[in-house]
Chains A and B, each alone.
Chain A
Amino acid sequence: MNRALRCLPLLILALAWEFISRTGLVSGSALPSLVKIGEAWWGLARDGDLWTHGAASAWRVGAGLFCAIVIGAALGIGMAWWRPADMVLGPFVEIFYPLPKSALIPVTALWLGFGDGSKILLIALGCMLPVTIGAYNGARSSDRTLVWSARSMGAGRLRVLRDVVAPSALPELLSGIRTALAISFVLLIASELIVARSGFGYLIGFLGANGTYEPMFAVVLTVAFLGFVADRLYQAFTRRVFAWRE
């Protein structure tokens, strides 16, 4: 019941959309009917366009995020744990963190061309720092009495890193990853719109340029839905990880 109630605003929005579109208050190209968008979506799915472009996008986001998370987490925990790393890398993190990551789109295209490589690098670079900062702050906040307890029970420095520092860093690390997840979608679509020959972003740009707005909206809504699902799945995952937090 509660769930149904939460979907109600969405339903109202959809009905309003359909109503505005059908009565012609707004031109059909600016806001195509949802039914027609649905038909266009079905067409794209049947022809396979949705899947081939979707696969290209999924690979780029997956590989880019994977690199961002692995490198970012290692960097953040390393910086928190080993002072020289903090001193050398800290200034770079501070300088690059506020940089609008979309500015790197032409740079990565210049380096790696129009293919997957430039998108993966862009997403890896753009999503790494939120993960780094999350891991760093989390690891720094590890309670010294926990570290001392482990040490007094015979744990060496590497053990403490694995058994205390890393788990202490996890909550902030995971919230950094959630930010990275959101940024990755932005960078993916933006870079594919500008420099790509495949992917959802490319498809949106291509369909828009051809004046086929119904399929264009279909892809836009698909991307929005996937972003939502990815975030929800991620939250469900973090809840499982933090079963101990009650």
Chain B
Amino acid sequence: MSEITIEGVRHLYKPARGKPVLALDDVSLEIAPREFIALLGPSGCGKSTLLYMIGGFLPVETGSIRVNGKKVEGPGPERGIVFQHFALFPWKTVKQNVLYGLERQALQRGEREARAQTFIDMVGLSGFEDAYPSQLSGGMKQRAAIARTLAIDPRILLMDEPFGALDAQTRHLMQDELLGIWRRSPKTVIFVTHDVQEAVYLAGRVAVMSARPGKIMDIVDIGLDKSDPDLQRSKAFADKVDQLWRLVRDEAIKAQQGRRPL
């Protein structure tokens, strides 16, 4: 049985000025519990929009999105989200950020504190509890944001290009850590990215999206052994990247041409 069912979703993006744009058209997708799925596509293809709709941040006007049979009508703590630009509360310390979601739950104070500390330790931010986000590097900020989201123990993890703003080395480390976290406490992960390698490295399935209007062109099973430390140097990995890249390339070109020159 699938955990998330997306059926015939369309989204019309209405900018403050100018004509409405069809951002998503007839998107249908089934996502199984504990699956790690990537939404891959060129920028502007509406993959983040789809994620925000699953999160309940944008309304579903046409079609439907169901989580465990229940229609999504707004955000909920069973769907945690991690944004590309971290979205940490800048006026709160790391600890206060991680505590924020826990304070909304019926927990004893001591329990909350202990839980926050557990997740801060888990993402390797021990000693930075009282630091403000402005005092942290990009990688540390994203660790804090991940700790904040994991602390409320969502069953579904929505990730919106979470490593896109990080440098290459940090990105690799974070990818490995995310896989580790996912393996230890399996959650359903929907991971938005435009990076083919990242999608192949992390996900079990990759939904490839087309340029505007965003549609799901293909769903590719990755079927690689993620615990293999040499995975990224293997032929099977390169073949998968190649296969996906061919699918994405034409769309990326289309997306480029669709842009008006500045």
Chain A residues at the B interface, C-beta cutoff of 8 Å = 143-146, 148-155, 159, 163-164, 167, 170, 243-246
Tell me which residues across on chain A come within 8 A of B56, comparing CB atoms.
151-152
Interface membership of B135, Cβ < 8 A = yes
Tell me which residues across on chain B come within 8 A of A152, comparing CB atoms.
55-57, 75-77, 79-81
Q: Once the chains bind, are A244 and B132 in contact (CB under 8 Å)?
A: yes
Tell me which residues from 54 to 78 in chain B have a Cβ below 8 Å from any Cβ of chain A. 55-57, 74-77
Q: Once the chains bind, are B87 and A145 in contact (CB under 8 Å)?
A: yes
- Grouping DSSP codes into helix (H, G, I), strand (E, B) and loop, the B interface class, with mixed when no group exceeds half, is loop
Tell me which residues from 89 to 122 in chain B have a Cβ below 8 Å from any Cβ of chain A. 89-93, 100-101, 104-105
User: Using a Cβ–Cβ cut-off of 8 Å, how many residues does chain B contribute to the interface with A?
Assistant: 29
Contacts A153-B101, A154-B152, A244-B134 known; A146 to B89 CB distance under 8 Å? yes
Other-chain residue from B83, B91, B93, B152 in contact with A153 (beta carbon distance below 8 A): B152
- Grouping DSSP codes into helix (H, G, I), strand (E, B) and loop, the A interface class, with mixed when no group exceeds half, is helix
Q: CA separation between A116 and B182, bound complex, in Å? A: 67
Q: Once the chains bind, are B105 and A148 in contact (CB under 8 Å)?
A: no
Other-chain residue from A150, A244, A245 in contact with B100 (beta carbon distance below 8 A): A150
Q: CA separation between A2 and B86, bound complex, in Å? A: 40
Kindly provide the distance from the CB of B246 to the nearest chain A CB, expressed in whole angstroms.
33
* Chain A residue at smallest Cβ distance from B104: A154
Q: How many A-B residue pairs have CB under 8 A?
A: 69
Of B57, B91, B135, B152, most buried by chain A (CB within 10 Å of CB) is B91
Sample of 15 A–B contacts (CB below 8 Å): A148-B52, A148-B55, A148-B81, A151-B57, A152-B56, A152-B79, A154-B101, A155-B104, A159-B104, A167-B89, A167-B91, A244-B90, A244-B133, A244-B134, A245-B90
Q: Once the chains bind, are A145 and B104 in contact (CB under 8 Å)?
A: no
Q: Which 6 A-B residue pairings sit nearest by Cβ, starting from the closest?
A: A153-B101, A154-B104, A145-B87, A244-B132, A151-B75, A152-B75
Q: Once the chains bind, are B104 and A246 in contact (CB under 8 Å)?
A: no
Interface membership of B171, Cβ < 8 A = no
Interface membership of B226, Cβ < 8 A = no
Q: CA separation between A151 and B74, bound complex, in Å? A: 9
Q: Once the chains bind, are A148 and B57 in contact (CB under 8 Å)?
A: yes
Q: CA separation between A170 and B91, bound complex, in Å? A: 10
Kindly provide the distance from the CB of B63 to the nearest chain A CB, expressed in whole angstroms.
21
* Chain B residue at smallest Cβ distance from A154: B104
Q: Once the chains bind, are B75 and A244 in contact (CB under 8 Å)?
A: no
Tell me which residues across on chain A come within 8 A of B87, comparing CB atoms.
143, 145-146, 148-149
Contact with A along B26-69 (1 / 0, CB 8 A): 00000000000000000000000000100111000000000000
